[in-house]
Amino acid sequence: MAKSWMRETAARFGRDEDGNFAIVMAFGLTMITMAAGFGINVVQSYQVKMSLRDAMDAAVTSTARDLTTGAISEKDAKPLVLAFLNSNSDTRFMTKDSFTLEKLVIDRTAKTVEGTASANVDLLFPLFAMNNPKVSVTSAAVYSDKKVEIAMMLDITGSMGEDRRRRTNKIGDLRTAASNAVKLAMEQNLDAAKPRVRVALVPYADAVNAGALAEDAVFVEEEPSSANPNPSDLPPPTDAPILASVAKRIDTCATERKLANGNPDYSDDGPSAERWNGSKRYQAKVNRDDRLTRYDGIRFCPTAKLVPLTADKDRLLASIAGYTADGVTAGAVGIQWTYYMLSGKWRDAISDAGQGAGPADSNTKKVSKVAILMTDGQFNTAYAGIKRGTVVRVGDAAARKSRGNAESLCDNMKGDGIEVYTIGFDLNNASMSATERDQAKAVLKDCASSDNSKVKHYFEASTGEELDAAFKEIIRNTERLALTK
């Protein structure tokens, strides 16, 4: 009897379609709701972990930076990390306790700051045993006691001038970007008596105005004459009683340094180094080519002088403020002098000229050396290696030579541990041919140091805002403190 009743009840339940559907729907909605809640919980947990990671990355990086610059001591590190976490963590999905700084370790040997933080997630849909699960992150950054030397090669050629038709003023854009870069770099110097960061400026056009360095470092070539149609392009021998070029100095400009065969000298040797021409020794002074003239025959020398490494922000900004645009693009000459401004071999020459302490010796553990090479066009002018009678300004031979010289100098700089950044400004403008544009970009890409996962070294900027952003990114990269975990 009981079994018969049960069979009948089961059959009746099976025939009741409305009730069956309602139960299935209830079960399905429950599962959908649980799945949605679980998905929301996963998103919350991910949001908390990413927020905590970003905050922790910023905290240890900032702490490492302040240890590097001397702004804080090691005992100040933990409070600083906590302050950063408080300021930068997104606490919307955390519990009231927010987060815990579980550990902070400063490794003096490895020079790392490593911290671990955790947070409890305040779930919107607590499920089963998932009440307030904990997420944890670990971040680490390296810090350094290195000095930083930055040499900025800046294009002040005629193409950088104001163009009313295009409504551009590239020299004005450069003044703004370079000034902001200097200000940003100088922010790292908390102790004016012991600056960590120094900056050199190398404005260039047809040549580089060596300023006070010209007196002892630059040899003025003698122009051909009927009496001497083929004068030597080498300085007088070291045993000569006086340098004949001193008495006839025209200006303080300089072009390339030349070897005995007339080709460019790619070394970073100081001007007092000796060379051998096959019969006599002579000092490795830099040449002022006698062909350094405008098309109309008027002698041309950029008015803006180079500024050797200095932490004097006012001096640097005043120099940049005076930049005007004129002349053509002897880019290899600019790179050569940028190399000199970072070479310890030029320290005595710079010091003797009253232009500061000069560069430190190369030591990658103690000093970071950075070159920033900026141009708005193809390098088109060279003197060394170009025979007399050949067009040395904006001719095909000169352009090929200038590009080749630039790449050789860049290779030497990188070989000496100098990190090279390059910026091409307004390279896609209509005044350049496709060939010129491609050649300009190729040289800058070849000159730049290799990129890595965190830092790029070749930049293109189309506007003043982009130029400013490129300089700022490079300056920040000079103080980058790469996350190691």
Domain ranges for the chain, please list them.
Answer: 14-142, 147-478
The secondary structure of 320-348 as a DSSP string is HHT----S---HHHHHHHHHHHH-GGGHH
* Torsions phi, psi for 309 (to 5 deg): -50, 130
With both helix axes pointing from N to C terminus, report the angle between 396-415 and 331-342 in degrees, rounded to the nearest 10. 20
pLDDT of amino acid 484: 52
Task: Look at 28 and 318; give whichever has higher pLDDT.
Answer: 318
Residues 378-392: b if buried by 16+ CB within 10 A, e if exposed: bbbbbbbbbeeeeeb
Amino acid 6: pLDDT = 47
What values do phi and psi take at 41, rounded to 5? Answer: -60, -40
Please give the Cα distance from 218 to 211 (Å, whole number). 10
- Pick the closest to residue 342 from 363, 361, 314, 356 (CA basis): 361
* β-pairing verdict for 197-204 and 253-254: unpaired
CA distances from 38 to 41, 42, 44, 87, 228 (A): 5, 6, 10, 29, 92
Report residue 140 as tokens.
């680490």
Task: Give the pair of three-digit tokens for residue 480.
Answer: 């980058």
What CA–CA distance (Å, rounded) separates 387 from 378?
21
Look at residue 211 and tell me whether its pLDDT is greater than 60.
yes
- What CATH number should be reported for the domain whose range is 147-478? 3.40.50.410
Please give the average per-residue pLDDT across 24-32, as a whole number.
54
The predicted pLDDT at position 271 comes to: 96
Average pLDDT for the chain: 84
Strand partners, 286: 218
Return the closest-CA partner of residue 51 out of 103, 112, 98: 98
Q: What is the pLDDT of residues 394-445, one digit of tens each?
A: 668 888 999 999 999 999 999 999 999 999 999 988 788 898 899 999 999 9
> Could you give the CA distance from residue 77 to residue 80 in angstroms, rounded to a whole number?
5
Whether the Cβ atoms of residue 307 and residue 319 lie closer than 8 Å to each other: yes
Task: Name the E strands within 320-468.
Answer: 367-375, 419-425, 458-461
- Residues with Cβ < 8 Å from 472, sequence gap 6 or more? 180, 181, 184
Helix axes 396-415, 434-447, angle to 10 degrees: 20
Give residue 481's pLDDT: 47
159 close to 378: Cβ distance less than 8 angstroms = no
Through-space distance between the first and last CA atoms of the chain, rounded to whole angstroms = 74
Residue 51: pLDDT over 90:
no
pLDDT tens by residue, 331-383: 999 999 999 999 999 999 999 999 999 999 999 888 999 999 999 989 999 99
In the block, which residue shows the tokens 């902001």? 180
Residues ≥6 apart with Cβ < 8 Å to 109: none
The full length of the chain comes to 485
- Phi–psi pair at 28, nearest 5 degrees: -65, -45
- Report how far residue 136's alpha carbon sits from residue 130's, in angstroms, rounded to the nearest whole number: 16
CB 291 within 8 A of CB 387: no
Convert the pLDDT of each residue in 111-160 to its tens digit: 788 989 887 776 555 555 455 677 788 888 777 778 899 999 999 999 99
Instruction: Find the mean pLDDT for residues 54-79.
Output: 81
CB-count burial class (<10 Å; 0-12, 13-18, 19+) for 22: exposed
Task: Confirm if 153 and 373 have CB atoms less than 8 A apart.
Answer: yes
Nearest residue to 386 via CA among 236, 203, 255: 255
Task: Considering only CA atoms, give the Rg of the chain.
Answer: 33
CB-based contact 181:323 (threshold 8 Å): no
Give the contacts of 151 (CB within 8 A, at least 6 positions apart): 199, 200, 201, 202, 309, 338, 341, 342, 369, 370, 371, 372
What's residue 411's pLDDT?
Answer: 98
